[in-house]
């Protein structure tokens, strides 16, 4: 009986990891499609002005490029086996870290987008980013 309980305990986290991975992968594909279509303008609010001042790119280009990356990362989470899945989980975590300055810029610039229409909501969003990083790593680890 203890062997069964140990086996069940061992399987349960894997089920939760897979559920989180599938949810995160689906969300990333949807977000990526949003970058390219219905939420394109809202995503531009998260592109820091300094980025387009330093690089010869427009905010729209950044949004489109990041949308393609998000679709690719999401599709990888949904379809790839281990160990590739773990590699893409690390890449997704790095992506969440890379876009964090955009979330900070949205907060500091008081820019409304995605229902984040108060500084309190925008500040709350900043604290969610580490959760996404942790979820990307946990849901794809062996």
3-state secondary structure of 116: strand
Q: What is the pLDDT of residue 22?
A: 97
pLDDT (tens digit, 0 to 9) for every residue of the chain, 142 residues total? 444 555 555 567 899 999 999 999 999 999 999 999 999 999 998 999 999 999 999 999 999 999 999 999 999 999 999 899 999 999 999 999 999 999 999 999 999 999 999 999 999 999 999 999 999 999 999 8
Give the global pTM.
0.88
Tell me the β-bridge partners of 20. Answer: none
Asked if residue 45 lies in contact with residue 106, where contact means CB atoms within 8 angstroms, the answer is yes
Which among 72, 71, 41, 70 has a CA at the least distance from the CA of 58? 41
How do the domains of the chain map onto residue ranges? 13-41+49-138
Spell out the SS3 assignment of 48-76.
Answer: CHHHHHHCCCCHHHHHHHHHHHHHHHHHH
3-state secondary structure of 113: strand
Q: What is the pLDDT of residue 11?
A: 61
């Amino acid at each position: 009986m203890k062997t069964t309980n140990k086996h069940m305990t061992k399987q349960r986290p894997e089920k939760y990891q897979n559920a989180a991975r599938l949810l995160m992968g689906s969300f990333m594909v949807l977000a990526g499609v949003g970058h390219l279509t219905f939420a394109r303008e809202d995503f531009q609010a998260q592109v820091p002005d300094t980025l387009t001042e330093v690089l010869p790119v427009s905010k729209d280009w950044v949004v489109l490029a990041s949308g393609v990356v998000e679709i690719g990362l999401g599709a990888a989470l949904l379809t790839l086996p281990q160990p590739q899945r773990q590699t893409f989980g690390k890449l997704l975590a790095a992506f969440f870290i890379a876009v964090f300055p955009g979330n900070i810029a949205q907060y500091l610039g008081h820019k409304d987008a995605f229902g984040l229409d108060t500084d309190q909501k925008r500040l709350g969003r900043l604290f969610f980013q580490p959760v996404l990083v942790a979820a990307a790593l946990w849901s794809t680890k062996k």
